[in-house]
Amino acid sequence: MQPKYRLTLFLWITLLFTAVSPAMSQESFLTITGRVTSQQTNQPLPYANIGIIGKSLGTVTNAEGNFIFKIPASYSRDSLKISQIGYESVTRAVKDVQGKKNHITLQEAPIQLAEVHVQAKSKTGLEIIKEAIAAIPTNYDTSAIQLLAFYRETIQLDTSQITHTESVLEVKQHPGKEKEEGLKIKTLKERKRRPDTTLYTKDPRFYYWIQLNNGARNTLTSSNVFQVDIKRHKRFFLNSRNFKHYTFTLQGIVSDRERRMYVIEVTPKKKSSKAYIQGKLYIDIQSLAFTQWDLELSPQGIELENNRNFFWKSIGRMVMKASLKISSFKEVLHFDQYQGKWYIKDVRRHFLADVNSKSRHLENSVWKTDLLLTVTDIARSATPETKIYTSADSVSQKLNKSDFWGQFNIIQPASKDTLGTVDQKIDSTSVKKMSQATPVKPSNRENGFTRADTLRGKLTPLRTCYDVIFYKLDLDVDIERKFISGSTLVQFSVQQPFTKMQVDLYDNMQIHQIVYKGKTLPYTREYNAVFIQFPETLPIHTNQEITIQYSGNPKEPNRDISMDGGFLWSKDANGDPWVQVVCQGSGASLWWPNKDHLSDEPDSVSIAVTVPQGLLNISNGRLRKTTQLSNHKTRYEWFVSYPINNYNVTLNIGKYAHLQGQYITSDTLTLDFYVMPYNLEKGKIIFDRIKPMLATLEKQYGKYPFPRDGFKLMESLHAMEHQSAVSFGKMPEGDSEEMSTAPLSIVWHEVSHEWWGNQVSCSDLADMWIHEAFATYSESLPFAEKFGKKGEQEYMESITGQVIEQQPIIGVYDVNHIHYNIGDMYEKGALMLYTFKNVLNNDACWVEILQGIQQDFRNKTVCTNDIVHYINTKTNTDYTYFFDQYLRYTSIPALSVKYKIKGSALILSYKWIADVADFRMPIRVTTAREKFGLIYPTTQWKTLTLPNMEPTDFDVDDTQFYVNVEEEEIY
């Protein structure tokens, strides 16, 4: 298992950006080379900034002060600027430096003390920092942009090089988009060199383990604190609640001729155990922008980092027979101004750790990692979708062979050809223009809703007049043409007499005929709704049926639209067809006609799928019959014997290997596992985890819901909770055990949907948190099972950074509201449930509630009010205020605390700041040194006296309670 070095966000405010297309395209360019040294010492100046005045293009010097800077030929009349904090900047005309080997010296700019009182006007370092924090929204660009960046990563263990990577990256960040969509990184060029392959041959798992996981991405994302409320990063030293742990000393003012900056030293207070960083900040006097940070982990920070993620580290020690302990971490961030906004310019990170492994004869071996990321160009208001890049792998090259990089700016290696030959090279800079299509604006709160959304999401009399009993799907899948054809039989019970009903089928799919009692019925279509006219009034309480014959090319997912579904047509690693359908957001009517509303689930479903011979189709339920047809096709007939929501009905077509087993408790549950044949050995590791996983889930939620249909788990093109046919996505590449177990968190999430989403389903997508919040909460269960409450707590804390807080968790009802950033249904919803568990403070009662919901709402559809009312009834307490705040409002509650020292006591005033007027959640705080107890705040001020305590002794348990905390000292 690879170490998860996502060091705590309190340390770095790193990057505030989004992304960049190559600004120079195919334009000719000029090359400027040189060396930058100190005028006083004649020593090289590493990481001095080189840029064109007024332009976004730039680079930095390497560790020996050298640089090669490539600029468009059209910049020939511009000027070059060379700068570094602590030195006076210089400018040179491009025409005077182009084509020469330049030697540029910078004059030291000492810190001035005499000017401090004049400029600072007697302000303290903390007061200046508060002003700089207030200016963050003005100073830093939070719009969607693009960056071009150079990234270098070098990892060593003692004298052995583990890896060396150099990349040119295109980075696109879209603030407000969820998870991976919010930050997209594309490697345009990359070269890697790894150590002697014998190291990996002898001990591959270990040498993969001591590499970084997503080093470039983590380096880029660690500055997101500029794009969200600082209060959300509870250990971040700029969070006002943590000011009490630090001393902020204004040391003086430094100038580079053009700009003067405050120099503020940050040091931990002596009695504080929660001051995790130390170092210096540089703040521009005019704009109050943070221009540079030189920070490192304090001793307390190192201790915290080594104690965090203990379950990952414990597993690492068990699996790898090794330990890795951080001894030092330093980071330098430098920002530069462009067109009135400040952007990250470069990031340097340095890790040191001690590695111990008795079996490998390693004792305090030094693990050293150096990361460098330099932004070389900025494109504001760019349209990332206007270009695509094609990859073309080629033969190895020398790392110092500069023509590989073309016109891209990189940071030169410190010495020539010390790294030998690369063993992997990527060149994906062949740029092809695409036609500019009009972006699709999905229906949501931002873009509004249409009649088509109402037709899909609202229960009108044309839908409530009947209740579906049974569907029979019969399909032929033509993979080569991406075409499906067949029929759906719909059996329904008449709830009110009617002559007209609505079913749903996407308008790109052709209906051939609709048959009722042997007669063809007339119908009309509006958007994706189909209105069927009957020749007579259908009497109430009768069962009827229609058959709809149809065909077409079903839609494929639009990756730019959240939760947009469709058919996935692909090939596996052997080149064989691999097909899947996913339609949770878009609805099952994209591929078969049905009453496409979550409130109406059929009691059972028959699914017959015909595919080319040699391929297997896996659908829901039990496989009842396989028929070899005369036209070189195979027909698979599956049957689902339980109620199922429409989007869960599925097909998975491919050449699968098949494992079988049984899970025996009081009953016997059949287990079927499907995986690509080339992943069979890795798949066995996941297959072996199924039984203990089901045992844990049953202990929390009750018996597996669908024993008659068995349990199937499969590798797939996309992870999805299809009922009794759960898929977890593609197995990652690599043969190590950690690669085999990588999908397990996804497996836990998707399998838990068998209870939350499949057995108990929401009746409107606006309440889909009932599916996703509980499934995300379930991801913590294996850690709670293995490591107890501490494991559960650490896992829940690890997901806090993924909360978005842009819209309420509950969506808009009656319009199929799903195509927006729904991420908070997952992580924020899970944190809400974890918080409520701790508010309840009774684990046995919590499990009773979870199992009771499953039992009392078994095979039913529910809404938020149903769940909240059930909890209130079971606990005999009204928690409506709690769920309203977390579900119906964007912000989470904030505990406002004001404190002062009176003699030897700490006097607290506290209250909740919340949208719900009567919010009154209890919460744990330190009521004595190193002792927690519950307090009961309301939205009105209360006072508490804590004897023999100081401000640094006081803390709020915002790990088990997902809240914000605002602290202020009163003098």
Label residue 18 by pLDDT band (50, 70, 90): very low
Q: How many CB atoms lie within 10 A of CB 43?
A: 10
- Res. 99: pLDDT tops 90: no
* pLDDT (0 to 100) of residue 422: 44
- Average pLDDT score over residue span 111-132: 77
Using CA atoms of 136, 137, 140, 141 in order, give the dihedral in degrees to the nearest 10. 170
- Which helix (H) or strand (E) segment holds residue 898: the answer is strand 894-902
Looking only at Cα atoms, what is the longest distance across the chain? 99
**Contact between residue 146 and residue 20 where contact means Cβ atoms under 8 Å apart:** yes
Which residue reads 């006609």 in tokens?
A: 593
Using CA atoms of 92, 95, 100, 103 in order, give the dihedral in degrees to the nearest 10. -10
Query: Domain boundaries in the chain?
Result: 116-433, 760-888, 894-969
* pLDDT (0 to 100) of residue 383: 36
Q: Model's pTM, two decimal places?
A: 0.84
- Which helix (H) or strand (E) segment holds residue 297: the answer is strand 290-297
Which residue reads 């990952």 in tokens?
A: 312
- Res. 699: pLDDT tops 90: yes
Cα(49)–Cα(292) distance, integer angstroms: 12
Q: Per-residue pLDDT tens for 234-245?
A: 888 999 899 999
Label residue 420 by pLDDT band (50, 70, 90): very low
Cα(653)–Cα(728) distance, integer angstroms: 15
Question: How are beta strands 905-913 and 942-947 bridged, if at all?
Answer: antiparallel
**Contact between residue 712 and residue 673 where contact means Cβ atoms under 8 Å apart:** yes
- Average pLDDT score over residue span 127-133: 94
Cα(137)–Cα(114) distance, integer angstroms: 31
- Average pLDDT score over residue span 657-675: 94
Which residue reads 């968790």 in tokens?
A: 809
Which two three-digit tokens encode residue 653?
Answer: 């077509």
- Res. 297: pLDDT tops 60: yes
Cα(961)–Cα(923) distance, integer angstroms: 7
Closest of 563, 577, 559, 553 to residue 647, by C-alpha: 563
Label residue 910 by pLDDT band (50, 70, 90): very high
* pLDDT (0 to 100) of residue 437: 46
Cα(721)–Cα(703) distance, integer angstroms: 17
- Which helix (H) or strand (E) segment holds residue 252: the answer is strand 246-255
Which residue reads 């070059």 in tokens?
A: 80
**Contact between residue 289 and residue 295 where contact means Cβ atoms under 8 Å apart:** no
Q: Report the range out of 202-211, 270-279, 300-309 with the highest average pLDDT.
A: 270-279
* pLDDT (0 to 100) of residue 116: 60
**Could you please report the per-residue DSSP string of 184-236?**
EEEEEEEEEE-S-HHHHHHSHHHHHHTS-SSHHHHHHHTTGGGGS-GGG-TT-
Q: Identify the three-state secondary structure at position 852.
A: helix
* pLDDT (0 to 100) of residue 112: 73
Q: Per-residue pLDDT tens for 176-191?
A: 554 455 677 888 888 8
The class that CATH gives domain 760-888 is mainly alpha
Q: Which residue has the higher pLDDT, 858 or 16?
A: 858
What string of H, E and C letters represents the secondary structure of 63-83? CCCEEEEEEEHHHCCCEEEEE
Q: Counting every residue, how long is the chain?
A: 971
Q: Does domain 894-969 have CATH number 2.60.40?
A: yes
Q: What are the two backbone dihedrals, phi and then psi, of residue 359, each rounded to the nearest 5 degrees?
A: -70, -20
- Average pLDDT score over residue span 424-441: 49
Cα(274)–Cα(297) distance, integer angstroms: 11
**Could you please report the per-residue DSSP string of 641-668?**
-S---GGG---EEE--EEEEEEEESSSE
Q: Which residue has the higher pLDDT, 320 or 67?
A: 67
- Res. 653: pLDDT tops 50: yes
- Res. 488: pLDDT tops 50: yes
The mean predicted confidence, pLDDT, of the chain is 86
**Contact between residue 91 and residue 102 where contact means Cβ atoms under 8 Å apart:** no
Closest of 825, 660, 805 to residue 753, by C-alpha: 825
DSSP secondary-structure letter at 91? E
* pLDDT (0 to 100) of residue 201: 55
- Average pLDDT score over residue span 822-839: 97
Label residue 535 by pLDDT band (50, 70, 90): very high
- Res. 441: pLDDT tops 80: yes
Label residue 213 by pLDDT band (50, 70, 90): low
